Structure 1
Amino acid sequence: MSDDQRRTELSRFLRARRQRLSPEEAGLPHAERTRRRTKGLRREEVAALAGISLPWYTMLEQGKEINVSDQVLDSLARALRLNADERMHLMYLANPRPIELRAKPSDDRPAVPPSLTYLLDQMPLVPAYISDEKLNVLAWNPLASAVFGSFESANRRERNMLWRLFMMPSSRSLFVDWELVAGSLLGHFRAMYTMHIEDVCYRSFIDELKEGSPEFAVWWDNYEVACISQNRREIAHPRVGKLNLETKLLRVEDSRDRYLNVFIPDPNDGSAARLAKLAEETPVTITT
């Protein structure tokens, strides 16, 4: 990520977090509430809560080039009531660590190594797939396709889980609590985007989603951040009925930001039996 890109993203993040926080939520119950032109907190209120000067905070929010200590960032995170994921995001943007310089595997490696496709083949009773940092599904087992909708016949965009949720009505209607699932995936995607902001493929993908989904455009500007996505999935499956699935997201070591997504059925409400029935009806060919 270039310094200019990082500072621009930091500016957007701080402004979004300041504007979403009310004086009452920030611990300012007696703040004057009439004739407020600013949604949420004013800059001077954030600066006072964090114990820093207004000119310094203003420069930070405007994306100016300034040095920031971890102590000051901690104070700012507390003032803005950031959760753990948001605090990590702030630290990364304001004071990036050497993680950016970590070695990347050679580009001549396969997108999904045979060992991972073999692993998928050994999980016939749970939906599982391999995704990348953009939420593209790279390989999947038959049950994943049977549960979430066909990946085999999908084009490149339609194999992206975020695209499916915002752009494909058939996928959207699958999830009982669509907003929770979509928000979780969007927060994870945002965190990954920040770490790969120099990748132009992200920008074109985001622009396509904003153009095709006004809902996505609004949510993107709200700037939600989550570093992992492990919310439960409650699915209204058209063939076997309700499936309650616990999400497990595991990063694959020594890979180019590859993740193993496994969905484990609730053993107590019949989901496991219904999923097993679906597995019996599904061919057993692994696809990448």
Structure 2
Amino acid sequence: MDSRGGQVEGDEPDGESLPELLRSWRSRTDPRAIMGLAASGRRSKGLTQRDVARLTGVSERWYGALERGNEAKYSADFLDRLSSALRLSPAERRALYLRAVGRPPALASTPDVDAATDVDEVLLQQFLDNQSPAPAFAADLAWNVISYNEPLLDWFPWAAYQANQMRWALLEPEAREHLVNWEQDWARPFLGQIRYERAHHPKSEALRQLERDILAGSPAARQMWDRREMVEHSHGALRRLRIPYHQGREVAVRIVALRPMRSDLLRVIVLLEGRHGSDAV
């Protein structure tokens, strides 16, 4: 069990019921970390049932029935929205699925995902958790996020539901607002990394599909792709963010990119916050 009461990745949930878990997770979630929720005038520090219902797109009555233990056919889409709203860790998301639908969440559905099978998942999660307060995550060859620590979820809530780093950065409209100097500092280097990995792993269907999806979904990406730039990695790069977690304040981050010695199909990213306009971290 981890320090927040969740299970270690791979363990089954303990004897607590789903309503007990939901109430506990809801009460610990800080509304100030969620854009659009008023934090003043509240009687308690956590989220209300109304907050969670609003964040997950269901009625307050429907969500209240869930916390009372009423059984229903919960979709993966709803459970992922709930995981994101409650800022659940990967282990807690697994416990939610097991309690709600009797099975763990499915793996990423990207075709022919090149998984790093020789990596100890528990050790990897411990490494990521130990990077706190710096956000950190691990992604596979095609940039599917497979594990992350709690600060990463505070900064980027989209990571909670089988997210893909490149699809978010290059296709989601909010990314252009959150990634400062989006085209020059983020989009072009990211596209260069995709081209680099495509050249080194030409048989990867996951990378091939990632390229197709991004070029089909973004005219801007198609124009930048024609520059034929190639970038090996982002390690050491200093970039700027403007995300809701920092309440609109622009922050500089140093990107630390690592690969485990046992696999070149996995990358680990740590974001070290620095001073704006400075190379210091």
TM-score by length of 1: 0.51
Structure 1 counterpart SS, 2:151: helix
1:128·1:261 contact (CA, 8 Å) conserved in 2? Answer: yes
1:164·1:171 contact (CA, 8 Å) conserved in 2? Answer: yes
Question: In 1, Cα distance between the equivalents of 2:218 and 2:116?
Answer: 35
Question: For 1:192-220, what per-residue CA distance to the aligned partner results, in whole angstroms no more than 9, with x for missing partners?
Answer: 11111112222222222211111112222
Aligned pairs, number = 162
Question: For 1:112-167, what per-residue CA distance to the aligned partner results, in whole angstroms no more than 9, with x for missing partners?
Answer: 62111111111221011111222221111111122133311x3x4xx111111121
Q: Which residue of 1 aligns with 2:243?
A: 237
1:191 equivalent among 196, 214, 217: 196
Equivalent residue runs for 1:216-227 within 5 Å: 216-227=221-232
1:127·1:147 contact (CA, 8 Å) conserved in 2? Answer: yes
Structure 2 counterpart SS, 1:224: coil
Runs (4+) of structure 1 exceeding 4 A deviation are 267-270
Equivalent residue runs for 1:119-198 within 5 Å: 119-152=127-160, 154=161, 156=162, 159-179=163-183, 180-198=185-203
Amino acid across the alignment from 2:242:
A
Q: Which residue of 1 aligns with 2:68?
A: none
Question: In 1, Cα distance between the equivalents of 2:181 and 2:243?
Answer: 13
1:135·1:189 contact (CA, 8 Å) conserved in 2? Answer: no
Tell me the CA shift for residue 107 of structure 1: 7.0
Q: Which residue of 2 aligns with 1:116?
A: 124
Tell me the CA shift for residue 265 of structure 1: 1.1
Amino acid across the alignment from 2:214:
L
Amino acid across the alignment from 1:150:
W
TM-score by length of 2: 0.52
Gaps of 5+ in 1: 1-105, 273-288
Q: Which residue of 2 aligns with 1:266?
A: 274
1:233·1:246 contact (CA, 8 Å) conserved in 2? Answer: yes
Question: In 1, Cα distance between the equivalents of 2:250 and 2:276?
Answer: 13
Judged with a 3 Å threshold, the aligned counterparts in structure 2 of structure 1 residues 125 and 108 are, in CA distance, closer, same or farther, namely closer
Structure 1 counterpart SS, 2:152: helix
2:116·2:263 contact (CA, 8 Å) conserved in 1? Answer: no
Question: In 2, Cα distance between the equivalents of 1:147 and 1:267?
Answer: 17
Question: In 2, Cα distance between the equivalents of 1:125 and 1:118?
Answer: 13
Question: For 1:225-252, what per-residue CA distance to the aligned partner results, in whole angstroms no more than 9, with x for missing partners?
Answer: 0111132221112242222110111111
Tell me the CA shift for residue 186 of structure 1: 1.5
Question: In 2, Cα distance between the equivalents of 1:200 and 1:247?
Answer: 27
Structure 2 counterpart SS, 1:150: helix
Give the fraction of aligned pairs with identical amino acids, expressed as a percent: 22
Gaps of 5+ in 2: 1-113
2:254·2:272 contact (CA, 8 Å) conserved in 1? Answer: yes
Q: CA RMSD in A?
A: 2.6
Q: Which residue of 2 aligns with 1:214?
A: 219
Question: In 1, Cα distance between the equivalents of 2:276 and 2:227?
Answer: 37
Question: In 1, Cα distance between the equivalents of 2:276 and 2:251?
Answer: 11
Question: In 2, Cα distance between the equivalents of 1:269 and 1:201?
Answer: 36
Question: In 2, Cα distance between the equivalents of 1:254 and 1:213?
Answer: 35
1:132·1:259 contact (CA, 8 Å) conserved in 2? Answer: yes
Question: In 2, Cα distance between the equivalents of 1:211 and 1:197?
Answer: 19
Judged with a 3 Å threshold, the aligned counterparts in structure 2 of structure 1 residues 189 and 112 are, in CA distance, closer, same or farther, namely farther
Tell me the CA shift for residue 221 of structure 1: 2.2
| Relative contact order higher in (CA < 8 Å, ≥ 6 apart) | 1
